[in-house]
Structure 1
């Protein structure tokens, strides 16, 4: 669709210098001349000089920073306009229900839905269009695989797992029952009168080799780009990983951990049960977060933390002991 038509459809009537066919919405560092991008915070203005977007949604006060080759689209709320435009680029989850014609499985399908050479697709598995499954993998009953999903070799997908569109699963991956990989992140823009406008998440999830994902996990796909779980990571049951998170190699996430969007970690990071993070936080290599620790800032490598508010683990233990003594003395 042309830029002018898209803008008019959501009630934006800003004049444009040159119309073009819009291929999508992209972040500043990935946008091409056929993409729209947006700036909602002044800290990102420094990225404009290297941006190649055809047009950018931004506020009036930020327009003076825009290079001459990029068209400004002046709006009062760039985040809201971005959310409204994102719906134009939301692909369908399932183009077809035909396993025989559309799924590309490592070996030829037989009438019992079992694939030769130890690759098995059990009854009541749904497979969308453009799916690729490697050898020696097992898909158990109730698994749902949307379009363009790839699954590597020697994988085990337990009952009632759902893999949304474009999800990429590596080799030797185990996903336990009830987990959902690639669902939308929790992202909304808000109108002046309080309505919540959904941001379509058009990225994907990548699960690297040798990862194990427990039962009833949810791993959200990215707004742009990817959410990635790196090689060797092990995730317990009932864990939530938000959009655009990147979990480093050989990390451990214990039950009920919750990671907000764009949390990133180094390798061998450990989250105790019910620990959580705010968004856009980085945690360094070999760092440990004690159970129920609430991470609200970047953490350096090779450190240990606990508590809420978060503090270094030894300090948190001393604080807790001191607090108990105070309470005991008060009551004695």
Structure 2
């Protein structure tokens, strides 16, 4: 994201309370802000992790925001114990205030806008799109043709819908990502407070996407959160900031995706699947109901359970676990029974699976 005009690093240091890592750094001009992995020429980048700091070598960025442990590197920098907090202060400059002037919006004559909907400034709405009562379309949103934004749905500022997108009632697109910086409370080092980091990315919904009721999709930090072409999302799903959901995914009710998750094409996430941040899910993977997972998931995987495992292995594991639980009961029945008939009766009372009776000589 680019500033209206370049700024000296000394000016930013004075505004934010960060320190310069050298007197010469104060004269460096920066034209915008970015993350270290997407840096462009002239950017001031947030570089807090070891990987981000090491990546500054050869980076086109003009300067970086660094933690004190890295202040000695030969790169113009602002130094602060909480680099992401400084980055958040700069992000605020790019966040619009208020809905804007509705008279600046461009609504196609063939669009159907309920008079009880709220339309912000600089909004674009295509032909044959319907916006129902109570919907809120924020500043700078773009909506394609033949879309439907249902009752009380909210598109926060900058959200972009492709053509033929359906947003069901009470869905909320473009809320801030769940991002905070923690620091000790003044006077009480045993207690940590959470300081908000604003988000200025947007949400992009591509063509032919359907988003269910009460779905929440967070905006990215700087880069967009993207829902790929043809994806269908059921009710009550949470998708965190900076996720990139691939084309033609199916995401079922109560799925939770943390931030910065990437999915391939034709991924299926069944009900209540939970995925940790920065996971990478391959093409055609199936995340079965209730699975909890993290990391890189190969294409064509079928995962279930926690810890997650392949479907066929999971059912063998579950069967084996059930058998292990039953072994002490069988031994106890054998010890406490006076004869074989009593033993068989005790086994029947344990409600053992059919296969155990077959293994024990067809006693049932």
TM-score by length of 2: 0.81
Further displaced range: 318-327 or 155-164:
318-327
- Cα deviation code 1:262-289 (max 9, x no counterpart): 0000000010100011111100000011
What is the distance in 2 between the residues matched to 1:250 and 1:93?
34
Q: Which residue of 2 aligns with 1:327?
A: 325
Structure 1 residue 125 displacement after superposition: 0.8
Q: Which residue of 1 aligns with 2:108?
A: 106
List per-residue Cα deviations over 1:171-214 (Å, max 9, x = no partner): 01111000001110100011133121111101111100010100
1:308 alignment partner, one of 306, 311, 320:
306
Distance 1:93 1:312, change over 3 A: farther
Match of 2:88 in 1: 83
Aligned CA RMSD, in angstroms, stands at 2.0
Would the aligned equivalents of 2:66 and 2:77 in 1 still touch at CA under 8 Å? yes
Q: Distance in 2 between matches of 1:155 and 1:328?
A: 57
Separation in 2, partners of 1:296, 1:197? 26
- 1:288 corresponds to: 286
> Does structure 1 residue 73 correspond to structure 2 residue 72?
no
Q: Tell me the equivalent position of 1:266.
A: 264
Q: Match of 1:45?
A: 53
1:21 Cα offset (Å)? 6.1
Change in Cα spacing, 1:213 to 1:330, as seen in structure 2 (3 Å) is farther
| Cα displacement (A) at 1:322 | 2.0
Give the CA deviation at 1:20. 5.6
Q: Deviations over 1:47-70 (max 9, x none)?
A: 22342222201134434555xxx4
Q: Which residue of 2 aligns with 1:9?
A: 15
Larger Rg: 2
Match of 1:59 among 45, 56, 67: 67
SS in 1 for 2:85: helix
1:67-103 deviations in whole A, cap 9, x for unaligned?
xxx412222332333234433433324223x3xx211
Q: Could you tell me which runs of 5 or more consecutive residues in structure 2 were left unpaired when the two chains were aligned.
A: 1-6, 186-191, 330-349, 351-364
Q: Using the alignment, how far apart are the partners of 1:251 and 1:75 within structure 2? A: 41
Matched, 1:140 2:132: yes
Any idea what SS the aligned residue of 1:192 has?
strand
| Structure 1 residues 177 and 71: alpha-carbon distance in aligned structure 2, compared to 1, 3 A threshold | same
Post-superposition shift, 1:296? Answer: 1.4
1:242 is matched with 240
Within 5 Å, give how 1:92-171 maps onto structure 2: 92-96=97-101, 98=102, 101-107=103-109, 116=110, 119-171=111-163
Distance of 1:36 and 1:13 partners within structure 2: 14
Q: Determine the C-alpha separation between the residues in 2 that align with 1:81 and 1:263.
A: 25
Q: Deviation of residue 39 (structure 1)?
A: 1.4
TM-score norm. by structure 1 comes to 0.89
* 1:201 matched to 2:199: yes
Distance 1:92 1:84 in 2: 15
- Looking at structure 2, the residues matched to 199 and 269 of structure 1 have their Cα atoms a distance apart, in angstroms, of 31
* Partner SS, residue 35 of structure 2: coil
Counterpart CA distance in 1 for 2:134 and 2:328 is: 58
CA distance in 2, matches of 1:16, 1:136: 59
Match of 2:277 in 1: 279
Rounded to whole Å, the distance in 1 between the matches of 2:165 and 2:245 is 15
| Preserved CA contact (<8 Å) 2:37 2:52 | no
Higher helix fraction (1 or 2) = 2
Residue 302 of structure 1 and its aligned partner are, at CA, apart by: 1.1
CA distance in 1, matches of 2:38, 2:212: 33
Residue aligned with 2:64, SS: strand
Task: Return the alpha-carbon distance in structure 1 between the equivalents of residues 32 and 247 of structure 2.
Answer: 31
Which 4+ runs in 1 deviate beyond 6 A? none
